[in-house]
Structure 1
């Protein structure tokens, strides 16, 4: 078997694990199944990840960072806070939710697993801290560039963006209804923009 650098092999097996987890769930995922999916001997799999818990930790970290990167690139920061919220929520929904139910189910399952596994609880907390920090950063940047003031702390606004998206995603996964989800997403976006307290585009036009 040709030599593969450790970092490359690590990424290869995490990607294989994500495929198996999305297909079979946490309970039915084994090191052997991941090794088969990744096209490597079980011994190689166990050398890189000696236990299933270490593998799941690596997958959780990978999913969190990937999602955070989507959040980071979602918002257009040059149109003010309202535009950033609308663009960010829309882009996240398109890139992570619509047509990606398997990813969302896997992510929820991994979060619950982390909460219930001794020594991994901090990963669940870090997940939400990470997402909130990224969203708070782009909200603050957008407001500053436009010379706007947010009516609530940016960290609070970001937490509410995350929590509202979480709820809508769970409903979408449990009962897929794209039209209804879009209506609810628009309503949530309006609430978040209203909470921010910045002048809306329609207000500017009216004046």
Structure 2
């Protein structure tokens, strides 16, 4: 049997962990179950990641980088802040409904981090907040930083709620309809805010 390097094994373990976490939750995703899913020796998993926590971080970073590639493709140049906000929320939710196993794994890791590793949980949200803030600040009608921060926090709350509903009922059409409603709410808020500022 040919030797498989640690560099080749790492992505296999990450993919296996996503499947097992989505199916069994983080607490149920033992390193043995993950190694079995990857069809690899348990010792190799421990060699590649040392601890389950290191593997969880790698899984979350992998999922975040996949999603950020899609967000980076959002056209923001010349678009209004409201349009950018809608595109960010819609692209995020479309990414999640297209990948229900990844959506569930991401939520499971986030909930686990909230209970077990508050620093990791803060890092998860800080990453989303920063990425979304950077995109919104490129809008044609930039808001003051404090208002962007509030808007991003509300958008993340909407995305979290929509994701929880989606992984509960697995109805992509309903989730995207609800996302359109959330976008209408954001647009309405930003329109009323700009009228108040005028």
Change in CA separation of 1:197 and 1:168 when aligned onto 2, cut-off 3 Å: same
Q: Does 1:124 align with 2:121?
A: yes
Shift, 1:179, TM fit: 4.8
Q: Is the 8 A contact 2:93 2:176 kept in 1?
A: no
Secondary structure of 1:40's counterpart equals: coil
Q: Which of 152, 159, 167 pairs up with 1:165?
A: 159
Alignment correspondent of 1:155: 149
Q: Is the 8 A contact 1:77 1:138 kept in 2?
A: no
Q: Is the 8 A contact 1:77 1:142 kept in 2?
A: yes
For residues 58-111 of structure 1, what are the alpha-carbon distances to aligned partners after superposition, in whole Å with 9 as ceiling and x for unaligned?
223322333333333345433332322222222222222x24333222222111
Alignment correspondent of 1:100: 99
Give the alignment's Cα RMSD to 1 decimal: 2.8
Separation (CA, whole Å) in 2 of partners of 1:27 and 1:43: 20
Secondary structure of 1:25's counterpart equals: helix
Q: Does 1:189 align with 2:183?
A: yes
> Larger Rg: 1 or 2?
1
Change in CA separation of 1:61 and 1:91 when aligned onto 2, cut-off 3 Å: closer
Q: Unaligned stretches of 5+ in structure 2?
A: none
Looking at secondary structure, tell me which structure has more helix per residue. Answer: 2
For residues 32-53 of structure 1, what are the alpha-carbon distances to aligned partners after superposition, in whole Å with 9 as ceiling and x for unaligned?
2222222322221222233323
The two structures have a TM-score, normalised by structure 1, of: 0.78
Change in CA separation of 1:93 and 1:27 when aligned onto 2, cut-off 3 Å: same
Alignment correspondent of 2:19: 19
Q: Which of 135, 142, 146 pairs up with 2:139?
A: 142
Alignment correspondent of 1:203: none
Aligned residues: 194
For residues 134-174 of structure 1, what are the alpha-carbon distances to aligned partners after superposition, in whole Å with 9 as ceiling and x for unaligned?
1111111122xxxx243762222222211111112212222
Q: Which moved more, 1:105-114 or 1:20-29?
A: 20-29
Q: Unaligned stretches of 5+ in structure 1?
A: 201-207
